[in-house]
Structure 1
Amino acid sequence: MKTIYKYTFLLGLMLFFFGCQEEDILDKSPLTEISETDVWSDPGLVEAFVNARYNQVGHGWTESWQSSVVDETYLTWSRGCEPYTQGYVNPSDLGRMNGGWWGWDNRSWATVWGNIANCNLFFERIDEVEFADETYKDRLVGEVTFIRALMYFDLVARWGGMPLITKSYTLNDREEYLSVARDSYKDNVDFIVSECDKAADLLPASYDGSDKGRATSVAALALKSRMLLYAASPLMNKSGVNPLVGYSAPDADRWKNAADAAKACIDAALDNGYALYQKYDDVKENYTQLFLDGGNSEVLFDREGGLSADGDNLTGLDQTNGPNGYGLWGGNTPISEFVDDFEMADGTKFDWDNPVHKANPYANRDARLYATVLADGDPWRERNVQTYLIANAAGDITGGGKDTKYGQDSWNTSKSSYNVRKYMDETYVPNSWNFTNPKNWIWFRLGEQYLNYAEALYNQGLEDEARTALNVIRARAKMPDVTATGDDLWDAIVNERRVELCFEEHRYYDVRRWLIAEDVLNRNATGVEIVLHPNGTKTYEPGVLVEQRLFNAPAMYWMPIPKWEIDKNANLEQNPGY
């Protein structure tokens, strides 16, 4: 795989046709390991080329999680998050949403375009290869079709309409590829949907053995579902939208298209052996293992773990995100604005003004909270989490638990008194980096599809059907059925996505496409102060400032096109507000 990657990196002379400076195009390693003729005459080498495309599919476990630029978490070191949390993202500083931070790629503009370029090369050369089995060839074509569509989605979700480029470039085409213009948002959506349909027709519904983890027809339907859901949303589907970032006129039928796509994905998944993960009766254990049990029944497509061609390894999150008292780095830490949105076990809202709730804020909550967040007193590894401070009889703070600034590695202390539990492996040995047991980043899972379906149904006025879809997810969590109507039902759908899909890179897009970002992302990030008193009781005070936050509307509803790209190509029109 390493050899093949060197080859593909060279072949993609247009790899950075939007992402590199001019001199970078010529700064490539010499081709020594394998020839171009060899690759496009050997089906085995072609499959290795396709495998390299999977290795350039990004993931969400960078040092700076996407959750830390929205109202889910705060990164203790805050690298690359400030342009979003402080409201100063601009074409010259795109922060953690584009580019490397301490070795992590964050699915940068250049990397995603590079993968698209190599996909285009595949399509231009694949017919030169003689395959003994045409079904095998069709499968590879389907896989690359899906990957290219996913790469385009990854760009469109962040930046809006992209240039739709389906050919590869060489140095002789420099003038052409440095003069391309952006296509409309509509054209991008139509292209992605069409590619998903093509991929679904070519791909099997599932795989066994070593092929597990490849793109499937169900994965293609899942991508189509998400794309159409986004496209139907108010940010894009209203009057007066710039055609680069939305439609020229609203159309209620877009919600029907989204609902139909989600239903098609759900049906195909269930018909082919996929199912919501329900291996354990205990909700906390079940929700925990959903993200640790690789390739389980709920996963529709994931980025396989292990060392990839671009140098990423999906192993570091245990070291970088656990509480400091365990010898871990306390990185992306949940904030109260997120934790407080987990309901009580009876389906009512948690409320700090309720004296019963305030006296014991982590009791009798939605059990998914206990699988998502480590709060003070939670059992984890060899002891209970200790984020409490210690007061003397006079009320003065004299110390604190092992997971506070009074414990080891105080510079890694969570400012909110919370740490991440979701994705974390309790068997991880600190400072081992767990290279032998990497995790898989889930891009699409069946649970999301039910929530996509509920949202699309609600926006067609089909409230009964929306509640049914919503309650499938709540039933798995052993939460009471939602019976609400109207605005209250919508609030329930929004909150269910918030807790069920947290840290999975949905919230960034959800609050924007719903046009609520300027409301929820202008709130400061806060935590809670927990104090242990001499009599053994604890008190809890919310509202501890973690970070002042600012969302600049309307510009920040989209990312700016990088300045260095517009400097090279004036035809790349900048997004509104920048």
Structure 2
Amino acid sequence: MNKFKNITYLCLLAVSLWILSSCNADFVNTSPLDEVSEEDVWSDPALAEAAVTGTYVGLGQGGFDEQMLASLTDEAIFTHPGRDITVITESRSNPAAPGWINNTLEWGNMYSYIRACNVAIENLTEPLLTDQDLVDRLMGEAKFMRAYYSHQLLRYYGGFPIVDRAYELGEESYEIPRNTWEECINFIVGDLDEAAALLEGKSMDSGRASRMAALALKSRVLLYAASDLHDIPTASSNSSLISGYANPEYLGYTSGDRMSRWQRAKDAAKAVLDNDQGNLLNLSGPVSHEEGIQNYMNNSLSKNGGEEELIFARYFINAKQENGGRQGLFNGPNGYNNWAGNTPIQHFVDDYEMMDGTEFDWDNPEHAEAPYENRDARFYASLLYDGAQWKPRSSANQPKDPLGQIQTGQYEIMQNGSVGTHFGLDTRNSSIEDWNGSYTGYYFRKFIDPDPSIVDQNTWQEIPWPFLRYTEAVLNYVEACIELGQEEEARTWLNRIRYRVGMPAINDSGEALVERYRNERRIEMAYEEQRYHDCRRWMIPEETLGRKANGINVVGTFKPGQSLDLYRYDPEIYNYSYEVTPIDPGKEDRQWLDKMYYLPIHFNEMNRNAKLVQNPGYTE
């Protein structure tokens, strides 16, 4: 499989120039040897393709990096201090210090990537290339990438100034006002429709835009467009900040038939379902629990059929040693000499259902006594918890834990004939590393290759980041069906997702179905940068993103007559108790303010462009 390599435009040009100059005997040629003219680039198939490949650079590492968007939501908390993540989670964002989201998502960066797309589109509109099939493919890719970057601006900032040409030096003005939300939606959808038509029938390498990618992104964009946050009458009734904003047209639709917007969202999602089956199994009932665990792991790791889920992804190659291949190091347990970066919080853990489809409840004595038993298969494929079986530890640490079990609590052991306390090897009191370690008592397993030969501390993995996958489109379709009152159709498709992981069918209706769907989306799309946007567009962040983060305290005490001098997880020897505990407010004191529905436009951008209007809540 040819995987997309993040090759920059300049690197490829440099290689091409070396080849060309080495073969050129015309020593009197006065053309600069370190530059290639625009005409030469767009008349040469290899250089033109390199230029379009360069438009992908804004994808960065995908969602894989030391800091992840999950830690700005109620999925995770970032372990390490001194980072700008808390500016977002504590609602301290402002135009001078917006806080951390992702460096590639900064307003100015987005426009630099859009400009690269515009340069490509302009040069392919009246092409110098003679291969029309190549021209169509490159144009389709450029249109898709412009739409992708534009949709990032839209969902983080609201309506943005549409720039559909490459500005040059000496322009009369570089100031441009923001377009309305509706205009931005129409612009993005227009690009995606064109991209889908241009890329139809094209065989694309993995990691490159495709017709299915254009259809899937259109599905996402139209789902957002129909959501509560972007229907201004609905949003205004839920937020006084939005109702008092002078320019609501930048944030959503101020009028119009909302049901028609849901119908467009449904139709766009159905177009994906009609053209691709992913690896969603056509089942009449749930698979076994063990098969469900394996199915979800395959999807997360894009292996053993799971790669069929991917529609558009960022691939990584071990030899390149990119950050995207370091998820085991960034997020793995400190008892494995990893960094424990983005650790699941208890709210998230608790939202995994029991195997029988009932809710987990700490007030249920059976649940509280054994909280990690009989849970949704995705629980075991996504989380590392106390007692979970994991990889072998390093040879130096295997004498402390020869079984490779996660230890996130404190336990009794025999020391010189008396009972003493053993702090788990994956706690912040670990005898292996005590400066890294989870504050919550959990680590995430999803996206981390379980192959024992991949030692996360010093090995890069090759798990791709899923920008767009088939099941997202299925969930989009379900949500639109619910909003249109087509509940039977919604349940049919929602149950197909559940059957694949061994979960029973749901039969809910009304508000119960809405809540069941939202939780299903939360669990299925965990750590995939969905929750940040979902909580906002559903306008439920106060009770989700604004909650204080919490974790678990695990204690193992000997059962009568039992003892061990080397700890291992064993319910026959230990009584285990579990207590939900709040994270120290000094670490992170989460709160929600409505201004955080959108990011502020940085004051530098406001100073450069006097026609910009700031987002609500950032003008005080």
TM (normalized to structure 2)? 0.83
> Aligned-pair distance for 1:388?
1.5
Q: 2:545·2:592 contact (CA, 8 Å) conserved in 1?
A: no
Does residue 86 of structure 2 align to residue 82 of structure 1? yes
Residue number among 216, 222, 225 corresponding to 2:210 in the alignment: 216
> Aligned-pair distance for 1:116?
0.4
Does residue 266 of structure 2 align to residue 264 of structure 1? no
Q: 1:54·1:303 contact (CA, 8 Å) conserved in 2?
A: no
Does residue 163 of structure 2 align to residue 160 of structure 1? no
Alpha-carbon distance in structure 1 between the residues aligned to 2:7 and 2:383: 38
Residue 225 (structure 1) aligns with: 219
> Aligned-pair distance for 1:215?
1.1
Which amino acid is the alignment partner of residue 365 of structure 2?
A: P
Which amino acid is the alignment partner of residue 499 of structure 1?
A: I
CA offsets 1:277-324 (integer angstroms, 9 cap, x no match): 799972222212212226811111112224999x96411211110000
Residue number among 558, 570, 594 corresponding to 1:534 in the alignment: 558
Q: 2:297·2:381 contact (CA, 8 Å) conserved in 1?
A: yes
**Percent of aligned pairs sharing the same letter:** 40
Residue 525 (structure 2) aligns with: 501
Q: 1:277·1:298 contact (CA, 8 Å) conserved in 2?
A: no
Alpha-carbon distance in structure 2 between the residues aligned to 1:218 and 1:512: 26
Residue 3 (structure 2) aligns with: none
> Aligned-pair distance for 1:433?
4.1
CA offsets 1:78-109 (integer angstroms, 9 cap, x no match): 5221011111011111222143xxxxxx4332
> Aligned-pair distance for 1:126?
1.9
Q: 1:7·1:31 contact (CA, 8 Å) conserved in 2?
A: no
CA offsets 1:509-546 (integer angstroms, 9 cap, x no match): 00000010112122110001000113222111113425
CA offsets 1:411-446 (integer angstroms, 9 cap, x no match): 111010000100001232143241xx4332111111
Alpha-carbon distance in structure 2 between the residues aligned to 1:332 and 1:349: 25
Which amino acid is the alignment partner of residue 170 of structure 2?
A: N
- Look up the SS of the partner of 1:222 in the other structure: helix
Structure 2: 5+ residue stretches without partners:
1-5, 15-31, 237-241, 243-247, 393-403, 560-573
Which amino acid is the alignment partner of residue 203 of structure 2?
A: Y
Residue number among 165, 175, 181 corresponding to 2:177 in the alignment: 181
Residue 351 (structure 2) aligns with: 341
Greater C-alpha radius of gyration: 2
Equivalences for residues 17-416 of structure 1 within 5 A: 32-58=34-60, 59-78=62-81, 79-99=83-103, 106-127=104-125, 129-173=127-171, 175-177=172-174, 179-204=175-200, 207=203, 211-239=205-233, 242-249=248-255, 251-270=258-277, 274-276=278-280, 282-293=291-302, 296-306=307-317, 313-382=323-392, 383-391=404-412, 398-407=421-430, 408-416=432-440
Residue 562 (structure 2) aligns with: none
> Aligned-pair distance for 1:216?
1.1
> Aligned-pair distance for 1:230?
0.4
Alpha-carbon distance in structure 1 between the residues aligned to 2:33 and 2:484: 56
- Look up the SS of the partner of 1:530 in the other structure: strand
Alpha-carbon distance in structure 1 between the residues aligned to 2:390 and 2:442: 13
Equivalences for residues 479-490 of structure 1 within 5 A: 479-490=503-514
Which amino acid is the alignment partner of residue 511 of structure 1?
A: C
Q: 1:277·1:286 contact (CA, 8 Å) conserved in 2?
A: no
Alpha-carbon distance in structure 2 between the residues aligned to 1:73 and 1:400: 23
> Aligned-pair distance for 1:132?
3.6
Which amino acid is the alignment partner of residue 266 of structure 2?
A: A
Shift of the 488–397 alpha-carbon distance from structure 1 to 2, 3 Å rule, reads: farther
Shift of the 328–118 alpha-carbon distance from structure 1 to 2, 3 Å rule, reads: same
Alpha-carbon distance in structure 2 between the residues aligned to 1:124 and 1:257: 30
- Look up the SS of the partner of 1:444 in the other structure: strand
Residue 401 (structure 2) aligns with: none
Q: 1:41·1:128 contact (CA, 8 Å) conserved in 2?
A: no
Q: 2:413·2:422 contact (CA, 8 Å) conserved in 1?
A: no
Moved more, 320-329 or 79-88: 79-88
Does residue 465 of structure 2 align to residue 447 of structure 1? no
Residue number among 481, 489, 496 corresponding to 1:465 in the alignment: 489
CA offsets 1:190-221 (integer angstroms, 9 cap, x no match): 1111111111111136636xx23221111101
Which amino acid is the alignment partner of residue 544 of structure 2?
A: V
Residue number among 587, 593, 596 corresponding to 1:556 in the alignment: 596
Which amino acid is the alignment partner of residue 48 of structure 2?
A: V
> Aligned-pair distance for 1:397?
8.1
Alpha-carbon distance in structure 1 between the residues aligned to 2:441 and 2:130: 60
Shift of the 170–132 alpha-carbon distance from structure 1 to 2, 3 Å rule, reads: closer
- Look up the SS of the partner of 2:116 in the other structure: helix
Structure 1: 5+ residue stretches without partners:
10-29, 100-105
Shift of the 167–340 alpha-carbon distance from structure 1 to 2, 3 Å rule, reads: same
Alpha-carbon distance in structure 1 between the residues aligned to 2:135 and 2:201: 16
Which amino acid is the alignment partner of residue 458 of structure 1?
A: I
> Aligned-pair distance for 1:55?
2.7
Does residue 455 of structure 2 align to residue 432 of structure 1? no
Residue 567 (structure 1) aligns with: 607
Alpha-carbon distance in structure 2 between the residues aligned to 1:572 and 1:98: 22
TM (normalized to structure 1)? 0.88
- Look up the SS of the partner of 1:529 in the other structure: strand
Q: 1:200·1:221 contact (CA, 8 Å) conserved in 2?
A: yes
CA offsets 1:92-138 (integer angstroms, 9 cap, x no match): 11222143xxxxxx433233211100100111112454334311210
Alpha-carbon distance in structure 2 between the residues aligned to 1:384 and 1:40: 57
Alpha-carbon distance in structure 2 between the residues aligned to 1:433 and 1:31: 39
> Aligned-pair distance for 1:468?
1.1
Which amino acid is the alignment partner of residue 556 of structure 1?
A: M
Shift of the 430–220 alpha-carbon distance from structure 1 to 2, 3 Å rule, reads: closer
Moved more, 55-64 or 558-567: 55-64
